[in-house]
Amino acid sequence: MRNPKLNIQSKSNTVKDIKLNSLLEMTKAINNNVNTAQLLDIYQEILENRLKVGKLVLFSFTTEWTCILKYGVDKDYNHLVFEPELLDIQEIETISYSKGNLSQKFEIVIPVYHKQTPLAFVLLGDLDEKKIEMSSAIKHLPFIQTLTNVMIVAIENKKLYKTSIQKATIQKELELAQGMQKMLFPTNLPNIDEAEMNALYLPHQQVGGDYYDVIWINEVEFVFCLADVSGKGLAAALLMSNLQAALRVLLKYTQNLTEIVIDINQLICDNAKSEKFISLFIAKYNIGTHKLSYINAGHNAPILINNNQSIFLDKGCTLLGISNPLPALENDTLLISPQSLLFAYTDGLTDTVNANDETLSENEIKTILINNKNSNSEFINKAMMHYLEEFKAEMPFIDDIAMLTCKFN
């Protein structure tokens, strides 16, 4: 006659062996870096066929809660909806909330957390809810929790690794874009007896939408501009590069600023489809006649210190890319006296805030220019930046900043 105690011990050893071998199988699969789908297949095989857990639903979070595994559920559960009440469950427990279908069909919830962040929820139950004996879900609960934690951690590590690879790729692309964008800016600004220029550019992100350029059109005239593309990042940088290419092509055919602005507006309206716009200050200077012609298309008005007077260069039109044709377009021409100073900038300068939520005013900018008008353009830009750093203190910059300064001699 068989000893019943021996039989019970034999079954116990068998279950222990199943659990140990299952855990080893899962660990080996993780070490071999199998994909998530294969891990889920192993997990289902262990719970459904070896431990006889009747039904299961596994929710995981990436950008939203999604069911990544289910079995033993009928067709009514083809489209499972995550029930927010699950987020209140911090530890293994029997399902006690009453809202929704899940609480009516499953017995146990196993939450998986990393610190205070929920990563997954496993819902377990038996197919035959009328059975009197203890369900497999409850009987093997500690092991199921261990196996689930091991698998979910492995899946999360895969997500993190994939994210890190994506970030590294994006970072590499941004570094390449940053290098290419730097190539678009002029390397040699005028530094002659008649005019001396300096520019400063501080992108808020690795690439930005501010743009400046200086282009000689003949021996005595050069065109310079400062522009700000709406938005930040790659999209703004791409539109900025289109602006630069368009301007250089147009200057080969015409030096008329009005025609250039009209054509650039047409280009932006056609390409940006009213989703992006550009503010632009463009000017032409003749070193022989000392005449400065300009158009301001919705840009922060550059400040000209001329004959000890401060003039805001605001004649022009609205932002480019908003409407075509432009509703109105003005230009202006000024005679520049010796020792005059022109300072152009993008709105990142005046949008910078301090701890009191104050922004830099045009009067403060004008005062800095007047106090430093006898200095060279590089010193003026550095003085402006020094003042801005002190003004904002610990507050961050919130936008790209570009400055273009010209001293007329």
pLDDT tens sequence across 202-259: 876 656 678 899 999 999 999 999 998 876 666 777 778 788 888 989 998 999 999 9
148 and 190 fall within a common domain: no
Same domain, 231 and 151: no
Helices 141-184 and 233-250 pack at an angle, to 10 degrees, of 20
Same domain, 106 and 50: yes
Indicate if 397 and 268 belong to the same structural domain.
yes
pLDDT confidence of residue 393: 87
Same domain as 156, residue 27? yes
Find out whether 283 and 336 touch, Cβ atoms under 8 Å.
no
Residue 227, strand partner residues? 211, 280
Q: Are 403 and 381 in contact (CB under 8 A)?
A: yes
Residue at 343 is within a domain: yes
| pLDDT of res. 2 | 45
**Inside any domain, residue 35:** yes
Range(s) of the domain holding residue 181: 177-408
Q: Please give the full DSSP string across 55-98, using - where no structure is assigned.
A: EEEEEEESSSEEEEEEES--GGGSS----GGGGG--S-EE----
Which whole number is the average pLDDT over 40-49?
A: 92
Of 154-158, 184-188, 218-222, 282-286, least confident by mean pLDDT is 184-188
* Judgement on whether residues 249 and 375 belong to the same structural domain of the protein: yes
Final residue in a domain of this structure, among 128, 162, 196? 162
Of 30-44, 155-169, 297-311, 319-333, the least confident: 155-169
Task: Give the count of domains, the chain.
Answer: 2
Does 395 reside within a domain?
Answer: yes
In percent, how much of the chain has pLDDT > 90?
A: 35
Distance CA 327, CA 347 (A): 23
Question: Are 352 and 384 within 8 A, CB to CB?
Answer: no
What CATH number is given to the structural domain containing 355?
3.60.40.10
Q: What is the pLDDT of residues 76-122, one digit of tens each?
A: 666 778 888 888 888 887 776 655 667 777 888 889 888 888 999 99
**Claim to verify: residue 240 and residue 342 sit in the same structural domain:** yes
Q: Are residues 251 and 141 in the same domain?
A: no
Instruction: Check whether residue 67 and residue 102 sit in a common domain.
Output: yes
Same-domain status, 294 and 253: yes
| Same domain as 154, residue 190 | no
pLDDT value for 379:
95
Query: Would 167 be classed as within a structural domain?
Result: no
Say yes or no: 240 and 381 in one domain. Answer: yes
